[in-house]
Each structure stands twice: as structure tokens, then as C-alpha cells.
Amino acid sequence: MTRRRPSKKKPAGAPKWMVTFSDLVTLILVFFILLFSMSQIDIVKFKAIAHSFKQTPLFEQNSSIVPGEYPSEEMKEDLGEKKEDSLDQLAKDVQEYLEKNNLEKVATATRNERGVVLVLQEQILFETGDAVVVPEAYPFLQKIGKLLKTMPNMIKVEGHTDSRPIRNSYYPSNWELSSARASSVIRYLSEHQNIDEDRFIAVGYSDTRPLVPDTSSENMQKNRRVEIIITDPKYKQDK
């Protein structure tokens, strides 16, 4: 009697690898659905933000959460006009002081693109060939210092000489003399008027920037000068 071999039963359902594959496909499908939904939300938000910018000039009304950090264009124009007015008024005040004290021949005050320019002739500040401020100049420099203290502008002090060469133990050339004169004026204003030293720039030009040609003693006298420039913030300083 022959035995019947038991038949091998085939497993019911899908193969095992199909389970893993279906899970992977499902995860990929969910991932792409998530990306698609996020992209749709971003587009909606972007359109809403762009529309709000068109409707309201947001950054012009409130350019920063910190008050005054980034002023609007109107505020900038107002500040610029105030600075212009203050510089113009300063030039008038200095000129009135010069006229009141009969100093027009040795000092002038003008307003140009650099700011307010005070041109002080040598005889009001120094002895010939020297860079020590004479006591007679103290009242004038004190008045100038009081005016400068009321403004935050940078102050550039320039020393100028005539073309005659100078050579002594203190000043080997006009370069040293012009620089020393600019420094002496700054030192007096900072020490006696308590003006912050960080506001000053000292420059010595020697005889390289004359007002008039050095063809006569009168012209040479005009070229020996110190210029105090209360600078306009919009003016680009010389390098």
C-alpha cells in the first residue's frame, strides 16, 4: 500500500516582500502629499504678503520695531533740513560776531558744500613763524568754542602757510608749521572748551592750497591762515 505524499500548502495572501514594498510606497506617497500641501500654503502666504505690500507702504510707516532706528524718507528729509538750517544759522551767528568785534579783516565765515568755513588769518592767532596761540586770540576762540559745543558735527582744522621756506629747530618746513598750528587750535578748543577730541580732524597743507598767488606780501599774509570747518554730514571728506 502506497503512502500519499502530503501536498505542500501554498501560503495564503500576498508575498512577504509586498508588505514592505506597499509600506514604502505609502510613505513616499504621504511624503509627496506633504510637500505638495506645504508648497500650496507658501504660495498663498506669499501672495497675501505681496498684496499687503501693494496696499500699505508698511516700511515707510514703521521701518523698524526699534523707534528711530531706520527713519522713513520723510523723517530723513526733515532731519536734513534741520541740519541745513542749523549750519546756515551758525554761519550767520559767527559772521555777526566778527562784525560786532571788528574782526572782518582777519576772519571770515562762509557757508559752502563742506559746511561752515571759518578762515582765520595768522595775525589773530599766532606770531609769524610760530604755532603757539597768542593770548589775544583766547576771547575769539572761546566764542567759537561755545558755538561748536552746541552742534554734534565733525570739526576739521586746516593749517596753511605761504610759499616762503622755513627752517628752524622747531619746524623744519612749512609742513610741520601748518600741522602744528592746526593742532594748537584743536588743543585749545578741547582743553579750554571741553569739546570732545573725537570730533576733530587736524590737517596741515603747507603752501599747497593758497587763496591767492604768493606774488606780494599782502597775498602771502592772506595765505597764512587756519581754517575751521564745521563739516556738513553729507560732504565727503578728502582722502
| 8 found inside a domain | no
Task: Give the mean pLDDT of 3-18.
Answer: 63
Phi/psi of residue 156, nearest 5 degrees: -105, 125
Structural domain of 42: 19-61
Q: In what order do the strands lie in the sheet with 200-204?
A: 107-112, 115-121, 225-231, 155-160, 200-204
pLDDT band at 48 (very low <50, low <70, confident <90, very high): low
- The residue ranking higher by pLDDT, 37 or 30, is 30
Per residue in 117-152, pLDDT (tens digit) is 999 999 889 998 899 999 999 988 888 888 788 788
Using DSSP's 3-state secondary structure scheme, residue 225 falls into: strand
130: CATH: 3.30.1330.60
Phi/psi of residue 107, nearest 5 degrees: -155, 145
Q: How many domains, the chain? A: 2
pLDDT > 60? residue 67: no
Q: What is the mean pLDDT of the chain?
A: 79
| 166 found inside a domain | yes
139 and 216 fall within a common domain: yes
User: Using CA atoms, how far apart are residues 134 and 11, in angstroms rounded to an integer?
Assistant: 116
Name the percent of the chain lying above pLDDT 90: 36
Instruction: Choose the weakest-confidence range: 11-15, 135-139, 209-213.
Output: 11-15
42 and 79 fall within a common domain: no
Residue 58 is predicted with a pLDDT of 44
41 and 108 fall within a common domain: no
40 and 78 fall within a common domain: no
Per residue in 163-183, pLDDT (tens digit) is 999 888 889 999 999 999 999
Q: Identify the burial level of 129 via C-beta atoms within 10 angstroms of its C-beta, where 0-12 means exposed, 13-18 middle and 19 or more buried.
A: middle
pLDDT > 60? residue 107: yes
| 67 found inside a domain | no
150 and 209 fall within a common domain: yes
Grid coordinates belonging to 206: 603747507
Name the percent of the chain lying above pLDDT 70: 72
85 and 149 fall within a common domain: yes
| 98 found inside a domain | yes
pLDDT > 90? residue 60: no
| 142 found inside a domain | yes
Task: Give the mean pLDDT of 203-230.
Answer: 94
136 and 26 fall within a common domain: no
User: Using CA atoms, how far apart are residues 115 and 187, in angstroms rounded to an integer?
Assistant: 21
Residue 87 is predicted with a pLDDT of 78
54 and 77 fall within a common domain: no
Residue 226 is predicted with a pLDDT of 96
Residue 158 is predicted with a pLDDT of 96
